[in-house]
Structure 1
Amino acid sequence: MDKTIGLACNIFTGKLDANQAVTGGEYPFFTCAEYPDQIDHFTYDDDVVLVAGNNARGNFHVSRYKGKFNAYQRTYILTAKKGFNIDYVYYALKLELKRLREKSQGSQTKFLTMPILTGIHFRDITGDEQTEIANVLSAIDKKIELNNRINAELESMAKTLYDYWFVQFDFPDDSPQGQGKPYKTSSGKMVYNPTLKREIPKGWEVDTLSSWIKSDKTGDWGKEEQEGNYTIQVDCIRGADINGLNGNGKINAPNRFILRKNDHKLLAPFDFVIEISGGSPTQSTGRMAYITDDVLNRFPHPLICSNFCKAISLHNKDLFYCFAYLWGNLYDNGILFGWEGKTSGIKNLLFDAFVTKYYVAVPPVHLAKQFFDFVAPLEQKKQSLLKESSKLETLRDWLLPMLMNGQVTVK
């Protein structure tokens, strides 16, 4: 016999509006537009389920959250009643809301209402069986979350070293006088550069970003199905996939077919993918991801970027990670907002103007090589964990309906 979510859970709705929460709220505020892959507050070991509806894309989703928070009135908070395992309820909801979302695509069902939520059914089994099923699925999710935390630490290590060496200029001074000590804090010679209007280490050059770039290639969109000369099957990276490519979200790269004569546009190791159209009022264009052999190995087909992106490669591979973190630093500090134009209401990065006019300090190649040698194994580990997480997600999504429907049992 089935049970409904309304019988299994106490359900509360959010009360606070966004302005009140943002300006004076003590706890995080969630709206219906939040997506679990974009928020780092979710976990799988507490007794609250957060369900949201009426979000920006007309969908709804369910996520676990640990801790106190404020929520929009169409965001629901669930706690399990006696005899029901909240983890089991979470996974039951995850499956049923996926089915409901697929069913409602293109219809007038744009948000999740209380009657719809409370009326959702799931298979009624014993508490022990609920716990066993939940343990299997949550173990997979906890491993994915662990991988994410490890990757965040790896990324933090690389960013910290980049800042230390190339922003604060406390790289190891390998001169006879420096003896490997931090350059600037050990009184390494700094000289004022009138172009940058600041001091940089003596011997460093100043040049535009274009001086680093060897070549660029435009993206391609191809065809959805194989036809005529559109025979090369590819996975197409869009601007929306760049965060996922970097390990900060999901990748939903469409599978496309391109002309064989355009195979020179395929992405190769040590390419960069840069979003040149898109963004938002609070997010500039210019998001960037870098391509390595390990990135390419995460995908079943060759990669290409879409027409709204551009791929570039550098003259010197040793500068690869320096350029990556330099560009990321410029993006994070909002520099690219000043290099945008608009076409038909869509923001475009004025890429050529930016790279030919924006000057930066260029580190010595031997120092860039040291940074490359430090970051490369971190990146390899990161990509290995991302590939593992992708396989775990596939396994979890395969198991979820069969466990919930009783096709597979836990022994």
Structure 2
Amino acid sequence: MSLKITVIGTGYLGATHAAAMAELGFEVLGLDIVPEKVRMLAEGRVPMYEPGLEELLRAHVAGFEGSTGRLRFTTSYEEVGDFGDVHFVCVNTPQKHGEYACDMSHVDAAFDSLAPHLNGPALVVGKSTVPVGSAERLASRLRDLAPAGAEVELAWNPEFLREGFAVADTLHPDRIVVGVREPGGRAEKLLREVYATPTGEGSPLVVTDFPTAELVKTAANSFLATKISFINAMAEVCEAAGGDVVKLAEAIGYDERIGAKFLRAGIGFGGGCLPKDIRAFMARAGELGADQALTFLREVDSINMRRRGHMVELARDAVGGSFLGVRVAVLGATFKPDSDDVRDSPALNVAGQIHLQGGQVTVYDPKGMDNARRVFPTLGYADSAVASARGADVVLHLTEWREFRELDPAVLGGAVTRRLILDGRNALDAAQWREAGWTYRAMGRPRA
């Protein structure tokens, strides 16, 4: 008998996981406590932009031509308990307000609501990013709240989704990590069955204990954040010494021990994962008495946040020392391309700071406009790159969308008052822009 899978929480992670599980051939029931979200998903629509996700959803939600009908959604925990053999918990873990620590209230609520309805043999699988030690606590919570005699187990299976590549990362993961209490036991066997297709294609499956599985995601994000902040620190040194951080990154990237990925200097990282994950990691290390092991992450965080202010300073200096009366075009609102996510976006943060200093800011982003307007309603917005640049004294390139990399400098030059561009992502072809009569400047690079 084929396994039936439920997914608790249908946000970015949950909606992607539910659709991917249906694609792998399982019957899937997704749950969310927000009725509007359930209705939207049942209509084949997703509440966020993620390439390929809506098409995958419509391939499996009933009512669409050619759909398998393997995927549906509900608001009922009772229905979920009766339906599933394996229950994936995919709710979010935001940063606590005013603290570095992780807010576990959504995860705790999901476990509390699910456990009383687990009557038959069931495996609950946590996918949320949580502080180390949470799985052990939640396993005890499951045992306490599940019906007497119910055979309920917990496993931890962290997610490694990259926004913009989430569908591929779920269907063809570069690794699958499974934290279980008993290696080789029922929980591991069930998860090997769930992931039989990707492991059959060559995706490695790593079996660990609970604490190691919980640490993998935060350790990985901390390493990536450190690498990004390292090259941004080198950009600061290059500016002081007259060096070129792009050439420096190219040279050290050829070293196999280092690699070229995540070595593009710019205005730093943002989004809903890296910033809050490294802060929660520091907070948890402090609770465990291991705070000195992660003190370097404070400097990683500090370098990252400093880049935003530095971009504002570069722009202010470029326009003569003051933004008053200056028209500023900002290309990009999302924290990265191929996403509509503006959470902790460096691009929007820079735009907001310039606006507060008197600049007349107009923003354009291919997918993030609606979310940006909700966060910064006082900024100006345009429906194209050219429209945002109309009459601008300076253009800031702050999110490395392909659309921006492929802009024709001559066409954009016809819209601006002054051909001055600051590349906050070191992603544009400097020679091409300069040949078109632009003054091109970028972080960590010498002026031509």
More strand by share: 1
If the TM-score is normalised by the length of the shorter chain, which range does it land in? Answer: under 0.3
Q: Which has the higher contact order (CA 8 A, sep 6+)?
A: 1
TM-score by length of 2: 0.24
Larger radius of gyration: 1
TM-score by length of 1: 0.25
